[in-house]
Chains A and B, each alone.
Chain A
Amino acid sequence: MTVPPLRSLFALLLSAPLVFAATGAHAAISNFTFVGLEGIAELNGQLDKRLGTTLNSTEHFINIEDCERYLGGEMEVTVRIDPRPTGNWQYAAAYAPPGKTCATTNANPEAVAGTCIVPAAQRELSSTTITFNVRFDDLIGSSCDTVTEGDASVYIIIQESSLSRVEFERIIFTVDLRAPTAPTLDSLSSGDARFQARWTDDANTADGTTYNVYWSDAPFGEDDLADVDSRDSLSAKTVAIESGVSNELTYYVSVTAMDEADNESALSNQLEVIPASTVDFWESYVGSGGGDPGGFCFIATVAQGSPGSMSSELGTLRAFRDNILMDSAAGRWMVGEYYTHGRFLAAWIADKPALKAVVRVMLVPLVWFAELVLWAGPVGAFAFILAALGGLTLMRRRLALAVPHLVTLPEGRS
């Protein structure tokens, strides 16, 4: 049968309000809040955070590991409708595994084994908080080794008693029982106490795929992953491993892929690398006889001459800087000021032999003082200096009494 174009347009215009009215009857619940999930019995406190257990969570993942861990268990779902709608309302809670749905046309959805589980129906909405239990086995809907993925649904339906209005919320639980494919480790390049791994992954193209890199100084398999070093949650397909790596040692490296639900792939192929020492610019400069001592011990360096001639004194002053001064705010301020201004003084005296000699002599008590503080600690050094000053004062007084014409004490002191 053919319908004249004008008539079909007219029919479409007439039917539009009916379509809008039908969809409007299943609006989202006003003032709805997802409060949280809590494991029941042996699962109490055991739910992983990827399940979206906390207030206002919008993503809820169940992966292979969760499936196995939650097997036979239940969780309590809590939601809130605050303030409650006015009038007489009923509510229902229902859930369906991936690929299945529950009817949401009223607060009495039909329970169908394996399709729609209804823990609560036609309950009076007398409180702002609704809680109900969900069995994981029914929500997941299949065994953990089915290599499937899909969205399970948890429904909260409310209905005004006169049947004029029905509202519902659907909370989606992504059930991902499909582990990603293992990536391919393409190459390892060695460096100085480091190595770099590069891999490709053509199979896992979904957003949110990350990678874990494992390495050890002995070959390893999937059962050994808890005992080997790793770097997790890498988004790039290359990584430089730069800590805990020794030169001249053979390292075995593998990589795995992780999907958004934290399912981990099998290990990739395993490659070997032997880090070896390299020479950077500064090492090459020093090795070529470059005389710049580096660091910032300007004045002492300039005054003492070549770095080799004053290694002991410089070492003392540097240890004093690092171990004593840098331990306090005042000391750090002094070091900062020294670095700001010391270089200019050092440059100024660099070509003045007489001045260098004077500074060198002046540095001697400073080096002694630094050695004393390093040996006795700040408090011990202070006590030592105080005792020394006391001893000197006593000696001076005795000397003044014994030989008055050599030592003059301040007026009124005897």
Chain B
Amino acid sequence: MTLALRLPRSWHLATLALVLTAVASAPALAETPRSMMLELHGGGYSPDVDSALDGGTPWADTFGSSSMTMLRLHLDYQIWQDFGSLAIGAGMGYGWIDGKARDDGGEATEDEVGFNLVPLTLSIVYRWDWAAVNHSVPFVPYVKVGLTGAFWWATDAKDSISNTRDAQGNAREGSGLTLGWHVGGGVMFLLDVFSAGMAAGFDNEAGVNNSYLFVEYLYTSIDDFGSADSLVLSDNALSFGLAFEF
């Protein structure tokens, strides 16, 4: 399907002129040394639990088609700056979703249950910020790859960690830690172009060189590297947020 944005030609010209004006008027960036980036992410996350199961769709049955709300924080340190920057960083997130327990007939009940996910990440990030630093181009594309460890727990109607017994009678507690990896990338938009003076002040007063809006696509594989006995929490997810380089 092709999406066509039907706007008058004058609108396109005006938008182009605005961007060019902003770019042309942008002052020199990075007055103080920069070495770190803090990203604040918000987005959705839909663990692919059901894909690994032949006997049912517990995720869809309980939570429907809704996504988890996922908030993440990522901090990295730039170990190399030349034609772009290379950084190593760590992140932590918290995602949650509420759903309805089912009765024996499969109908939703009043019992509210949930699932919680705390992904911890170690990442290597490459940002092509050469054009932004040297030529005031306000876009910074980047790629990110790393390892993920996700703590998770499922809650029952009493908001306790769910537990049950399997067919063999073994106790099964609904919490754990599942490992995996992630890869993805995104584009950051340099906010400084909107107010060069404010950006310079933010740098001088707080040491924040650049502020960005970004959109990130991340594929996260969380299944203990393919273990058949692990809860599969993998997903492709988009996130949006603010980033500060300092």
Contact = CB atoms under 8 A, between A and B. Distances in A.
A and B part of one assembly? yes
A340 to B, nearest CB: 9
B157 A282 contact: no
A290 B178 CA distance: 14
Contact of A294 (B56, B114, B172): B172
Given A280-B162, A281-B113, A347-B179, A292 B56 contact: no
A276 B63 CA distance: 20
B166 A307 contact: yes
A344 B179 contact: yes
B149 interface: yes
A57 to B, nearest CB: 38
Nearest to A195: B110
Interface string B41-60: 00000000100111111110
A139 interface: no
B224 A280 contact: no
Residue of B55, B57, B177 ringed by the most chain A CB atoms within 10 A: B177
A326 to B, nearest CB: 15
Given A285-B49, A289-B53, A295-B175, A311 B62 contact: no
B110 A196 contact: yes
B197 interface: no
Interface string A261-297: 0000000000000001111111111111111111110
Interface residues of A, number: 46
Contacts of B228: 291
B35 interface: no
Contact of A291 (B99, B109, B156, B229): B229
B149 A302 contact: no
B158 interface: yes
17 contacts: A190-B109, A276-B104, A278-B103, A279-B104, A280-B162, A281-B63, A283-B164, A288-B58, A289-B54, A294-B174, A294-B175, A308-B166, A315-B170, A339-B177, A347-B224, A350-B227, A351-B225
A211 B157 CA distance: 23
A311 B168 contact: yes
A323 to B, nearest CB: 14
B111 A282 contact: no
A59 B210 CA distance: 58
A31 interface: no
A-B pairs, 6 with minimum CB distance: A288-B56, A282-B174, A284-B58, A278-B101, A282-B162, A291-B229
Q: Which of A191, A278, A281, A307 has the most CB of B within 10 A?
A: A281
A196 B63 CA distance: 21
Q: Is chain A's binding surface mostly helix, strand, loop or mixed?
A: mixed
A282 B56 contact: no
Given A307-B168, A314-B170, A284 B102 contact: yes
A343 B177 contact: yes
Main secondary structure of the interface of B (DSSP, over half): mixed
A285 B168 CA distance: 15
A289 B170 CA distance: 13
Contacts of B61: 284
Contacts of A302: 227, 229
Contacts of B109: 190-192, 278
A178 interface: no
Contacts of A306: 229
Nearest to B53: A288
A190 to B, nearest CB: 7
B228 to A, nearest CB: 6
Contacts of A318: 171
B156 A280 contact: yes
Contact of B154 (A192, A281, A288, A314): A281
Interface in B6-32: none
B65 to A, nearest CB: 15
A307 B227 CA distance: 13
Interface string A174-192: 0000000000000001111
